[in-house]
Amino acid sequence: MDVSPQVRLLIQNIRLLVFDFDGVFTDNGVWVLQDGTESVRCSRFDGLGLSRLRALGMQMMVLSTEENPIVSARCAKLKISCVHGVPDKGVRLAELAAAAGVDMAAVAYVGNDINDLGCLRLAGLPIVVADAHPDVRMLGLLRSTIHGGHGAVREICDLFSTIIESTR
């Protein structure tokens, strides 16, 4: 991923990295079984990227409007905190950052769709995945080259890790 010096500097100052779930950790698809149970597809690549970044001290979490418990189950497996079932993610992001003692300028948010607009507008570093909805693409100061659910989270984590490690 090609990164401008401005974005590189922003990454160096990020203290909280927040991800949407559907369309970022997943490919935005859903399988619905005949009993109504839903399942989603995620990339196993993401786990090692998150672990590497966690080892560098980055605070990370998932913030999602999705109510399905699959969100919290996947986050538990990845050892990342999760707040889901949130109707207004922008308001909740500001509350979470304040509770963590992190200024919004030091928050990066990764999204893919119009329910992420509030967060993308508030975050110091708005990031979108390669296949983000056209209405949010223009807000991303950084766009992954990989689609959501196919390793976009890993790509972003690896970029952050590389930049953070280069400054130590």
Q: What structural domains and CATH numbers belong to the chain?
A: 5-166 (3.40.50.1000)
Q: Is the pLDDT of residue 96 over 90?
A: yes
Average pLDDT of span 130-155: 97
Flag whether the pTM goes above 0.75: yes
What is the C-alpha separation between 98 and 101, in angstroms, rounded? 5
Q: Is the pLDDT of residue 168 over 80?
A: no
Q: Is the pLDDT of residue 133 over 80?
A: yes
Q: Give pLDDT tens digits for 37-89.
A: 999 999 999 999 999 999 999 999 999 999 999 999 999 999 999 999 999 99
Q: What is the overall mean pLDDT for the chain?
A: 96
Spatial CA neighbour of 60 closest among 20, 104, 96, 19: 19
Q: Give pLDDT tens digits for 59-73.
A: 999 999 999 999 999
Q: Indicate the pLDDT class of residue 94, thresholds 50, 70 and 90.
A: very high
- pLDDT, position 57: 95
Average pLDDT of span 98-113: 97
Q: Indicate the pLDDT class of residue 2, thresholds 50, 70 and 90.
A: confident
Residue whose pair of structure tokens reads 């659910």 in the numeric block? 149
For strand 59-64 and strand 125-128, is the pairing parallel, antiparallel, or unpaired? unpaired
- pLDDT, position 72: 95
- pLDDT, position 124: 98
Q: Which residue stretches of the chain are H helix?
A: 5-13, 45-55, 70-78, 89-100, 117-122, 134-137, 152-166
What is the C-alpha separation between 165 and 168, in angstroms, rounded? 5
Q: Is the pLDDT of residue 167 over 80?
A: yes
